[in-house]
Amino acid sequence: MKIENICCIGAGYVGGPTMAIIAQKCPHINVTVVDINEKRIAAWNDEDVNNIPIYEPGLSDIVKEARGRNLFFSTEVDNAIDKADMIFISVNTPTKTYGMGKGMAADLKFIELCARQIARVSTSDKIVVEKSTLPVRTAEALKNILENTGNGVKFQILSNPEFLAEGTAVDDLLTPDRVLIGGDIDSEKGKEAVNALVDVYANWVSKEHILTTNVWSSELSKLTANAFLAQRVSSINAMSELCEKTGADVNEVAKAVGMDSRIGSRFLQSSVGFGGSCFQKDILNLVYIAKSYGLGEVADYWEQVIILNDHQKRRFAEKIVKTLFNTVSGKKIAILGWAFKKDTNDTRESAAIYVADYLMNEQAEIIVYDPKVTEEQIYADLDYLGTRSENENRSLLKVVNTAKDACRDSHAVAVLTEWDEYKKLDWKEIYSNMLKPAFLFDGRRLLERKAMEDIGFEFYAIGN
């Protein structure tokens, strides 16, 4: 079976970059990305490719090359679905905020809506690919909805989890460690569908890097990979607190431990806590699944990764308050970085949101500067927490366009995202414009202690 038309439902951080690369690498396939969000689609179609809604290094060039040739962005969902031989579902699956499984289970409302829409408008057989991270056995639910349409159309369901990390999406997609495809490999039709998707990736990924499994293994592998990665961050963050008490340095510990090839050096960078749309959501999801099978110890084991992460964010904020003589009320604190990591404009679950919220509860005045995150997004993140009114958020926190402006006349500066440009700031000048003693809190181990202390800062860094 040869794929000629692909449709992707959801033009977000996953769907957008993934489809851009497929279109670039497979000029013989027409790729249409659809979304119900008109503003987002309009941004993807903006004549100036620098205005596409997602910031990823290298992405705008690829969009420029493929857009209008075989890559299209549209709000006409029904049309695109019916035309496609293969449909990727890349809609968001946030943690449920209501009802059963509130705060833990994934909300599959958007997925189910997609499935019903696909069932309603399809007039020819299709392969449906789960791209969003989903709880194990979602494919079965999809299958149930799709198979009971009564119009004789046949569907094959594949799981093809996305392993790209934001900020490096283009590289991760171009040279993936592996591509994972789960399908009904015990049936002829299932095998055919798996092979059709293998052939798409084989346009640029070598076959040894394309792994095929049954659907459940594929779905669970995605949750497991994110749980392991997050666990590494929580493990090193746990050590960071112990290092601060004992005089060890967490960077030295991480280096020494990481050189053991059985452990490996990546994902041992101690921080103010992990964020992003995946880690917390996927672990909560794993915990919920384990509990629902009665596996209490398994659930508790993984939940600890989240508990430690919450603790890390809180203890950083507490450290600021304690250091500033136990009160930050009315004090100006500059926050450098709002994105959950560098090189992305995504802020979902970013540690900065929680640190700011904590400090605002202590009546601090917060000034934020992030090179890629908009003021609108920052307020939306705070409003979403619901800690205080929208007016109070806007009066307690201001957003400015340069680091220099953020730090001027402040009591303290906190670095919460590891943007490269913060390393190159004129820290001497920043120091001279701050109130004294001038406190600097490095939540990312971005700055050199000695250089900062020589300038005159009272310096605190995670795990040191």
Contact between 440 and ligand UDX (CB under 6 A)? Answer: no
Could you tell me which of 114, 118, 131, 119 has the C-alpha nearest to residue 22?
A: 131
Q: Which stretch binds ligand UDX (CB under 6 A): 85-93, 134-142, 160-168, 385-393?
A: 160-168
Residue choice 55, 88, 201, 279 for contact with ligand UDX (CB under 6 A): 279
Among 268, 356, 397, 412, binds ligand UDX (CB under 6 A): 268
Which position among 56, 162, 166, 362 bears the catalytic label?
Answer: 162
Which is the catalytic residue, given 243, 278, 332, 362?
278
The residue within the footprint of ligand ADP, chosen from 12, 182, 276, 371 (CB under 6 A), is 12
x/- string (CB under 6 A) for ligand ADP, residues 259-288?
------------------x-----------
Q: Does residue 317 bind ligand ADP (CB under 6 A)?
A: no
Residue 275 partner contact from ligand UDX, ligand ADP, none using kind-dependent CB cut-offs of 5 to 8 Å: ligand UDX
Q: Give the position of tokens 């919220």.
A: 357
- Under the binding rule (CB under 6 A), the answer on residue 165 touching ligand UDX is yes
40 binds ligand ADP (CB under 6 A): yes
Minimum separation from the CB atom of position 377 to ligand ADP (A): 12
Interface pattern 127-146 for ligand ADP (x via CB under 6 A): -----x--------------
Residue 226 touches which of ligand ADP, ligand UDX, none (Cβ within 5-8 Å per kind): ligand UDX
Only one of the segments 45-53, 57-65, 66-74, 276-284 lies at the binding site for ligand UDX (rule: CB under 6 A); that segment is 276-284
Per the document, the length of the chain is: 464
Task: Output the 3-class SS for the chain.
Answer: CCCCEEEEECCCCCHHHHHHHHHHHCCCCEEEEECCCHHHHHHHCCCCHHHCCCCCCCHHHHHHHHECCCEEEECCHHHHHHHCCEEEECCCCCECCCCCCCCCCECCHHHHHHHHHHHHHCCCCEEEEECCCCCCCHHHHHHHHHHCCCCCCCEEEEECCCCCCCCCHHHHHHCCCCEEEECCCCCHHHHHHHHHHHHHHCCCCCHHHEEEECHHHHHHHHHHHHHHHHHHHHHHHHHHHHHHHHCCCHHHHHHHHHCCCCCCCCCCCCCCCCCCCCHHHHHHHHHHHHHHCCCHHHHHHHHHHHHHHHHHHHHHHHHHHHHCCCCCCCCEEEEECCCCCCCCCCCCCCHHHHHHHHHHHCCCEEEEECCCCCHHHHHHHHHHHCCCCHHHHHHHEEECCCHHHHHCCCCEEEECCCCHHHHCCCHHHHHHCCCCCCEEEECCCCCCHHHHHHHCCEEEECCC
- As a whole number of angstroms, the distance between CA 380 and CA 382 comes to 5
**Residue 35 binding partner per list ligand UDX, ligand ADP, none, with a CB distance cut-off of 5 to 8 Å that depends on partner kind:** ligand ADP
Q: Which of these ranges, 69-77, 266-274, 321-329, 381-389, lies near ligand UDX under the rule CB under 6 A? A: 266-274
290 binds ligand UDX, rule: CB under 6 A:
no
**Closer of 42 and 256 to ligand ADP (Cβ):** 42
**Considering beta carbons, is residue 95 or 269 the nearer one to ligand UDX?**
269
Contact 254, 244 (CB under 8 A): no
Choose among ligand UDX, ligand ADP, none what residue 37 binds, the Cβ cut-off being 5 to 8 Å by kind: ligand ADP
26 binds, among ligand ADP, ligand UDX, none (CB under 5 to 8 A by kind): none
Residue 55 touches ligand UDX, criterion: CB under 6 A: no
124 binds, options ligand ADP, ligand UDX, none, Cβ within 5 to 8 A by partner type:
none
- Per the listing, tokens 């989890």 go with 161
Give the contact letters, 340-359, x = binds to ligand UDX (CB under 6 A), - = no: xx------------------
Q: Which is nearer to ligand UDX, 17 or 183 (CB)?
A: 17
| Active-site option among 25, 126, 131, 222 | 222
What sign does the dihedral 422-63-163-206 (CA atoms) show?
A: negative
Total binding residues for ligand UDX by CB under 6 A? Answer: 19
Buried b (16+ CB within 10 A) or exposed e, 56-77: beebbebbeebbeebbbbbeeb
* Residue 244 contacts ligand UDX per CB under 6 A: no
When the beta carbons of 383 and 458 are compared against ligand ADP, the nearer one is 383
Whose structure tokens read 């995670």? Answer: 462
Does 222 qualify as catalytic in the annotation?
Answer: yes
Q: Which residues bind ligand ADP (CB under 6 A)?
A: 9-15, 34-37, 40, 77, 90-92, 110, 113-114, 132, 277
Residues at the interface with ligand UDX (CB under 6 A): 162-166, 226, 229, 233, 267-269, 271, 274-276, 278-279, 340-341
Instruction: Enumerate the active-site residues.
Output: 162, 222, 278
